[in-house]
Structure 1
């Protein structure tokens, strides 16, 4: 005991300016010291010596019952979360019916409320456990050599079991079992929520609408009929056109393609002298061109921005978002910037009337990664 604390004990009602929040008041110190003078003589720390290693059995049992009550509530909350999740499946959450337009809101409230109750119950139970059952004492060790001595290694199991016994985990079966019970539903929750990720995409993400014989139209132009199809003669040397596949319009998509399909199929048609193609281009890549015209995906392989800038003198394709630069004369390989993959190449040819058509799908998936988790339309 410091001299300052002993001075405070003379006034049972005064706590003094130096008293740390959570430490016993002066009156409590008087009470403890009067009964445990010898025990307190060499004691240091915020808690009285009488409470450092043991608490009255009545206090521990009450703490055990209270903590177990919170763990039981946490278990009921976890079960309620699972029940509410299956009671309102993902499809019902996003599609309220006329009879119950608030179905989505009720689903969110139930799942959020029950999950909150489960997490709060576990936290409250652990707090009661620590404050009412576990012993209170401070441990401090000087820094020693990192390797442990053989004696310390051999005594680790004894130290571990003594700590488990002091915590009450082994001595309080009711509290231990209710804690494990409360954790069980939360352990199942992540597995159940995997249902929301939907079915596996399979090979859908590796393919687009492009197929052999599909005509091309200028992006953003009127695409009705053959008048919008692109001829090989429409591109001059050094020219570049953004194009899309031509699909017959329907009531749902007046222009033939959904916005999602447009984003995945848009291409850059670039024409250059065939002598400008790099010697590093493979024979297969050269076969995918026609009369100096080459087609690349317009979607940057970095983060999916449109790589819409082209410099004909250097045959460089530039993405304005992060300055990734691709060499159009060499299979759209990356020459600068954060992108790591070339722009996928679309094999092209012409039909009997001289219109440019696709000769298959892209050489690899477009975009920075498998960015579309839908099953496709």
Structure 2
């Protein structure tokens, strides 16, 4: 063993790099210098600078146009009219106008900084931060330098365009506050009155319940235990969109379910509004109007997918969870001589969101 250790030690000590090999020596990493400065086209070509300036202030005034368009859309498509098309176009064009206003400001600011402001690289060494009398003078000088490099003080078109765009961008938001003002009902007592708009739907006495969207009438015998049907008034399927199909459907949609009659206690249900365990409730959530379409057969609960309000069908569709303020309105139903389900009348209370109750 001792001879083996001596041999290994001799081999280790005797190994040396050959004279023909160069030994690499690592140099310390140097801080890379700034790359060579590349002049922009706007720095070399006065015509390019003029085009960039025109682009920036044009974008600012395009932002002003977007703000104005949003305000025009607010008045051109008044949501107080109660028409679904007005509500749709109101949201669409106000959103597009505000988006154009803000996007144009952002693009203009970026293009201004990249193509027009002074393009100089510099290194600012760190130094101790402490208050001195010379600090104020240095701050003033830095603002003066920034103003000179940005061209803010001498490029009046860009400056004025920026001021106009920023001022106009807040006007659509101010305009929207008009919707919070009291409504004058002297000209149209229904428009803008949520109670009047939601109190009456297309349902009427003797009107058959039909499948949505085919309009096929529903027989009571076809409604099996535990099933749920999406229902509309039978005449609705014959309306065109120009005749108000969407507006009427938005208020008249109903969910039809069948429970065992013993699962409907008389103290919490209007049994004379049901037929052999079949009940019909408005699909429009009483929170903000989302469609309540998820039915749990075992628990008899209806779930609104938007904000998780839950309604107990076995107990008058009362609210058992979530932000909804009142039970779903019930549609009184019965059957006609041919066995088809029909409405006894319209809803006896307004359908949809309950925000109007806060008055």
- Taking structure 2 as the reference length, the TM-score comes to 0.48
- Taking structure 1 as the reference length, the TM-score comes to 0.46
